[in-house]
Structure 1
Amino acid sequence: MSEIENENGPASPAVDNADIRVHPKSPREAIQPEPAPPPPARSRHVRNPIVIFINFLLTVAVLGVIAAGGLLYWGKLQFDSEGPLKEEKTVIISSGSGLDSIASILTYQGVIEDDLVFKAGVWIYKNARKLKAGEYAFPAGASMRQVMDALVEGKAVYHAVTVPEGWTSAQVVERLKSDPTLVGELTEIPPEGALLPETYSFTRGTTREQILQQMISAQTKALAEIWERRADGLPVKSPEELVVLASIVEKETARADERPRVAGVFVNRLNRGMRLQSDPTILYGLYGGEAWKVDRSAIKRSELDAKNPYNTYQIDGLPPGPIGNPGRAAMEAVASPSRTRDLYFVADGTGGHVFAETFEQHQRNVAKWRQVERDARRKQEEEAGDGDKPAAN
């Protein structure tokens, strides 16, 4: 080959015209694009079955995470959304019910729509073993989360039973037996004075025995506190004697403002060695726990003279036991009685009593009370007589 000089630089090797092959393109070939180069050959490692399987697993895992996230998000929306209830509804969850049973009950009662979502939500929040039995009032539109929270916190419907002050233990047991919400039987009547009359709250499924034990515990605690704060110089030597006297005070007056003064009368009489002479003790000695079904005003002379260990017209000091279950106020009245010289009291016709320091004063007060009684009977007879007369035309 020869070199060809040019004015722009060193000579380049000459190209032999014989080696150049000119292939002219047709007009059609000239406008067609050049074909793309083929892709590079794939590595043998990429085509390895293990690599392919791993890639598949990673793809499935990613898709699974995305699906699970979407499902959880949907479930949370369902769990927190408004429920199907249109108005408040009360549902009873029996003791011993598991999550499956509770979910079925709630679905059947129309509180929730999807028991699977409810059970899943309870499990996710780790509350499956925390759901409590009871009677629940679910508000309209309660969400599954609200339902779960109510069951976990035990926000059950509360009922109440009220025991009036002064009731005997037999009366208390009779009331508990008649309450339709309480369950279980009562086979024994507690000792008189062992129960604290109050209002007791409970949930459905509570037993009568549980309420009775609650009343006994409350009385034990209250009596201990009151005895600790008692005044000096009382003629009662033990907490039990305080309850005995308080049960008499309870039956003598229903007015809270009179209890300390009535207690003061009995304390003064005991300190002087006088008999208590309380009518309610006669009734209890004759009729026991059924005494208060008898009209107090109907005490006969024969009953007054009849021998019984509770008749404080015949015995000295306190009777052998309480004549009922006194309330806290009556026990506190005995523990801190009014400081007076009163030795007598009698009804005044207005629901209260008039007090006296001497027997002469007391006799005048009794005479006034007898007149009130006569006037009341006369008025009743007149009203009854008017009722028998024919109506005027």
Structure 2
Amino acid sequence: MWKNIASNALSLSIIALVVIAGVIGWGKRQYEAEGPLETAICLRVEQGSNFTRVSEALETQGAIDSTAIFRMGAEYSGKSTELKAGSFLVEEHASMRQIVDIVTRGGASTCGTEVVYRIGINAAEYRVRELDPATQTFLVVAEFTPEDDVPAEYARVRDLADTRYRVAIAEGATSWQIVDALRKAEFLSGEIAAQPAEGSLAPDSYELRPGDDRAELIDRMQTKQDERLATAWENRAEGLPYESPGEALIMASIIEKETGQPEERPQVASVFVNRLEQGMRLQTDPTVIYGITNGQGVLGRGIRQSELRADTPYNTYVISGLPPTPIANPGLASIEAALNPAETDYLFFVADGSGGHAFAKTLEEHTRNVSRWREIEAQRASE
């Protein structure tokens, strides 16, 4: 009898183990299977939250079918104690396993609110953006300058832990403009003791946290510009009329200020390189303007004839060669154009009315281009 009982018990144990293994296998397949979410969502995980709250939020938003399997999967994978606060993009049909990975991986939030502080040529502005998970595009919900009253949309999100911040520097902004704007950025801290050298700051987009130090951000910009210039100098074309990377940076700043068309930069560079090689003056208005403003804001008027005749270090209608310093902070493309210009015979260029320039090899051809540009200006003035 005891043998029968033992045999039956063993059989039941085996059956139970098979059932348990089957349940575990089914749960694992459910955990790794494509999820029910039809449209991407932005999942916000509050500071101090837990997997129970997260699983309930996911079930409410239709991202998972079983809160129990979700929590058990996180526990079984050893990630139940690794939940991170933030706002995370959960894409359509993401599996529970993928979602657990998303909310435990860490790093910057991947959706939600982003505050971009844009430092441009003419002004600085805040832009508050919200990610639309369905289209994965940002929608601007507020725009304002440092001098404006703070809009409600910004007041609502600025102290949230998962709001991301970026400072975006426009190519061609001067060091004075950048420092002035950073001092007005209320989400930064610390002082900038001295204005950085012109041209030494890399225009780019910089991820930040509220309270980050302004001087440390300046250091990041300078390091990046040094690296860009060093790499471009190492890969420069042969025979260029520069004695140092510093001279190439000066040329890059002139190119940056002369054209807003990216594809024109190598051609503009070729004009100035050809002029230097032939001993011609550069005769470029942006250097004259910099000599007048010292990079502090926009001139806001035309250049006077007396200013074009003035003997100053930045008046390239009077001096030979390059001015003594850069006249702005050039971007990477302008640095590369200065050190790898197009191979042309161009010596002149003038606006062509389309936002670009008409290039010429001879003074006669350039004179015709200038006449066409003046006709365009006259026609626009009469409209």
Short-chain TM bin: 0.5 to 0.7
| SS of corresponding position for 2:359 | strand
101-110 vs 310-319, which moves further: 101-110
Residue 231 in structure 1 maps to residue 237 in structure 2? yes
CA deviation vs aligned residue, 1:89-138 (integer Å, no higher than 9, x gap)? 212446xx56x546535535646687776454323212346555543122
State, as a whole percentage, how many aligned pairs show the same letter.
39
Q: Which amino acid counterpart does residue 173 of structure 2 have in structure 1?
A: W
Q: Which amino acid counterpart does residue 165 of structure 1 have in structure 2?
A: E
| SS of corresponding position for 2:316 | coil
Question: How many positions carry a matched residue from both structures?
Answer: 319
Q: Which residue of 1 aligns with 2:101?
A: 149
Equivalent-residue separation in structure 2 for 1:123 and 1:175 (angstroms): 48
Equivalent-residue separation in structure 1 for 2:25 and 2:289 (angstroms): 73
Equivalent-residue separation in structure 2 for 1:173 and 1:346 (angstroms): 32
1:247: how far off?
A: 1.1
Q: Which residue of 2 aligns with 1:281?
A: 287
1:227: how far off?
A: 0.8
2:331 to 327, 330, 353: 327
The structure with more strand, counted as a fraction of residues: 2
TM-score, normalised via structure 1 length: 0.59
Equivalent-residue separation in structure 2 for 1:212 and 1:104 (angstroms): 41
Residue 317 in structure 1 maps to residue 321 in structure 2? yes
CA deviation vs aligned residue, 1:268-297 (integer Å, no higher than 9, x gap)? 333344432211112223334454x445x7
CA deviation vs aligned residue, 1:355-375 (integer Å, no higher than 9, x gap)? 2444x6655554454344333
5+ residue gaps, structure 2: 3-9, 112-135, 139-165
1:207: how far off?
A: 6.6
TM-score, normalised via structure 2 length: 0.61
1:193 to 196, 199, 219: 199
Q: CA RMSD in A?
A: 5.0
Structure-2 change in CA distance of 1:83 and 1:314 (3 Å) = same
Q: Which residue of 2 aligns with 1:104?
A: 53
Structure-2 change in CA distance of 1:266 and 1:120 (3 Å) = same
Residue 122 in structure 1 maps to residue 74 in structure 2? yes
Structure-2 change in CA distance of 1:82 and 1:179 (3 Å) = farther
5+ residue gaps, structure 1: 1-45, 47-57, 381-393
| SS of corresponding position for 1:233 | coil
Q: Which residue of 2 aligns with 1:373?
A: 377
CA deviation vs aligned residue, 1:42-93 (integer Å, no higher than 9, x gap)? xxxx9xxxxxxxxxxx9xx999989987986786577457878675321244
Q: Which residue of 2 aligns with 1:244?
A: 250
1:301 to 302, 305, 317: 305
316-325 vs 76-85, which moves further: 76-85
1:335-346 pair list within 5 angstroms: 335-346=339-350
8 Å CA contact 1:93, 1:135 repeated in 2: yes
8 Å CA contact 1:88, 1:140 repeated in 2: yes
Computing the radius of gyration over CA atoms, which structure comes out larger, 1 or 2? 1
1:24-63 pair list within 5 angstroms: none
8 Å CA contact 1:166, 1:324 repeated in 2: yes
Q: Which amino acid counterpart does residue 110 of structure 2 have in structure 1?
A: A
